[in-house]
Structure 1
Amino acid sequence: LTSTPPQISEVLQKYRSVFTEELGMYAGKPVSLNLDPNVTPICMKARKVPFALREKIDAELDKLVEQGVLEPVDHPVWSTPI
């Protein structure tokens, strides 16, 4: 076992709402991304995932969809592997 240095414990305690296990949500003004209309969209191929990790990755992606972090897209114009 390792112990947490006192300085780190202070920061964790002071900002405990930031270091929770739960996902936080942005509460500020709406944000929009201004994309240059002259840029051609790219669609990158998905990374290969070892079969042994596939179930864990699928579960994590499902969790992120449930939390509203990700949403399924059938025909993406832009895409990049995560």
Structure 2
Amino acid sequence: MPDYQQFKDQYQCRMATTALGKIRNETVTSLKALFADLFSPRVGRCTKTKAKLVLKPDATPMYRQGRPVLFASQSAVDAEIDRLLNEGVLSAIHHSNWAPATVVVKKSSGATWIRADFSTGLNDALMLHQHPLPTAEEVFTNLNGGQLFSKSISPTPIYRWKWMKTQRNSSQ
């Protein structure tokens, strides 16, 4: 009879696991439907405010050439630029006095990312907002006692901001 008891215990455990898996799948499906914008492959947009970059009074425009792209990667880069133009992340211009160095990165997933390196000029030309950021210890202290946490990895980590109009020439 002990063998029957072990079998019964295992069977109930498997049933419970199956039921939990079904509940989990239903919950995930309903959350994806409820928050469809968050799970969309499109680029996110900030609609609550507009970004404004304030240049230092003595800032001079910096134009940096992009890093060379391998000929074999050119079609993937062109496709990524077209995608970013279509999603409104980039806009076509004819001339600019400002340009950061750009880097093309081939991800392990096969995706091509185009990134701007603003440390080559623009960052130094900006007036910074000086405000204290919390330390890691402060963040973890605030999370203490939490029961549910999530990990979010976006397939499109770019966040699109609307820009305020400025008095300076818009091509700069």
TM-score (normalised: structure 1): 0.71
Instruction: Choose 1 or 2 for highest CA Rg.
Output: 2
CA distance in 1, matches of 2:65, 2:81: 17
Count of aligned positions = 71
Is 1:51–2:51 an aligned residue pair?
Answer: no
Higher relative contact order (CA 8 A, sep 6+): 1
> Within 5 Å, which residues of 2 pair with 1:18-57?
18-57=38-77
| Cα distance between partner residues in 2 of 1:45 and 1:22 | 28
Instruction: Note if contact 2:84-2:90 (Cα within 8 Å) is conserved in structure 1.
Output: yes
| Secondary structure of 1:25 counterpart | strand
Among candidates 95, 98, 123, match of residue 78 of structure 1? 98
Between Structure 1 and Structure 2, the one with more strand by share is: 2
- Report matched runs for 1:5-16 at 5 Å: none
Per the TM alignment, residue 27 of structure 1 is displaced from its structure 2 partner at its CA by 1.3
Alpha-carbon RMSD: 2.2
TM-score by length of 2: 0.37
Question: Structure 1: which 4+ aligned runs deviate by more than 6 Å?
Answer: none
Specify every segment of 5 or more residues in structure 2 that has no aligned partner in the other structure, as ranges. 1-27, 103-172
Residue range with higher mean Cα deviation, 63-72 or 16-25:
16-25
- For structure 1, the residue ranges without an aligned partner over 5 or more in a row are 1-12
